[in-house]
Amino acid sequence: MKTKVAIIGAGPAGSAAAIALSKKGIPNILVDKRAVVGIPVQCAEFVGLNINAYVNINSIPSAINQKINYIEVDTGENLYKFDGQGYILNRAVFDLYLAGEAVKLGSRLLTATRAYKINSQKNSIDVLSSEDKISYEIYYDYLIVATGPKNEFDCHKNRAYIYATQVKTDLLKELDSVICYFRPYIPYGYGWVFPKGGFANVGIGIEKPVSSVPLSLSLSKFLKEMRDAGLIGFKILEKTSGLVPVSGLNGITCGNIALCGDAAGLTHPITGAGILSAVISGGLAGDYAAESVKASKNLFEDYKEELESVFKNSLIKASKKRSELYPLMKERVGIDEKIKQLWPSFQEYYN
């Protein structure tokens, strides 16, 4: 099989890349190892209103679980509340919608198809269809790697991760805030309760191997505290876990290969948010790949430059602040004063 641009991964980053390419009429193939794009969901699903600059969320009502008006930060000593409008998405619908848009515009989507090798000398990827049990090659002029946090290929790997685990449970109070909790039993990380109608995504994320506390232990303590507070019930409707890269920008390009989304290390090192940056970087990677095809000239170094100009400074700042924030959460000395410089909802963070 042959195409101008191959894209590995049909998450928000890969689908945004495919949409950008197809809008410019460039043939592209999008492969994803999942049988159904977007499932299983490994995300707490909060995204700010600014996603609308890239995807008109209000035009896909089924992709919205609920609207959010505030962000709250609970340090254990104080509860801080900020304006913070956004959505708890239904990621399964959102991801499928984006991939569907790409297909409508002309992208070819191959699901249940895992890319297991990049042959950069031959400009091809080896893929295996788990349905047909057939292995074959896809030849490309340009390759976009949008595989999420764990990139199994040699091109730049993420270096540090937050390990996250989350349940979907019943929510006993009406909430229009996403709440982040800092607790000594969640060392080097934090916990969250993100409401979705009568339910909530409740989870914790901890940096490993810095902390050796088992995730399951922290999560059960967190669930107990939330239950004792009467916020959530006892039903566990879903359980998921996943990785959040926190070491910042990661290589980005390698010859005619460009990385985007989590694969490029674009998640926010403090909050773990990565949906918006996946959509933005995927769109940019697609645009630069399209221009490269049209100009018959590799423009991925320009992609790298633009991506760095958008994300690099804020990611470097966040990485530095994370290294101060997480130990503080464990030791808890002067937490209420210091948190203001270290959590991005506070104005002081930007001073």
Ligand X SMILES: Cc1cc2nc3c(=O)[nH]c(=O)nc-3n(C[C@H](O)[C@H](O)[C@H](O)COP(=O)(O)OP(=O)(O)OC[C@H]3O[C@@H](n4cnc5c(N)ncnc54)[C@H](O)[C@@H]3O)c2cc1C
Which one of 4, 6, 7, 46 is in contact with ligand X (CB under 6 A)?
A: 46
Minimum Å gap between C-beta 237 and ligand X is 15
Q: In whole angstroms, give the CA distance from residue 154 to residue 118.
A: 8
Strands (E), 90-197: 108-110, 113-119, 124-129, 134-139, 142-145, 161-171, 177-181, 189-196
Which strands form 257-259's sheet, in the order they lie side by side?
Answer: 108-110, 28-31, 5-8, 142-145, 257-259, 253-254
Site string for ligand X, 56-95 (x = CB under 6 A): ----------------------------------------
Minimum Å gap between C-beta 13 and ligand X is 3
Token pair belonging to 26: 């460039």
Site string for ligand X, 202-241 (x = CB under 6 A): -x--------------------------------------
CB-nearer residue toward ligand X: 231 or 246: 246
**Binding of ligand X at residue 101 (CB under 6 A)?**
no
Minimum Å gap between C-beta 334 and ligand X is 28
Q: In whole angstroms, give the CA distance from residue 302 to residue 237.
A: 45
Which one of 17, 71, 103, 115 is in contact with ligand X (CB under 6 A)?
A: 115
Element (H, E) at 234: strand 232-245
Question: Up-side HSE of residue 4: CA atoms within 13 Å toward CB?
Answer: 23
Q: In whole angstroms, give the CA distance from residue 281 to residue 286.
A: 8
**Binding of ligand X at residue 146 (CB under 6 A)?**
yes
CB-nearer residue toward ligand X: 10 or 18: 10
**Binding of ligand X at residue 251 (CB under 6 A)?**
no
Cα angle 173, 177, 181; round to 5: 90
* Stretch of 6-14, 207-215, 316-324, 332-340 contacting ligand X, by CB under 6 A: 6-14
**Binding of ligand X at residue 244 (CB under 6 A)?**
yes
Token pair belonging to 282: 């995927």
| Interaction site with ligand X (CB under 6 A) | 8-14, 31-34, 42-47, 114-115, 146-148, 152, 164, 166, 203, 242-244, 261-263, 267, 272-275, 278
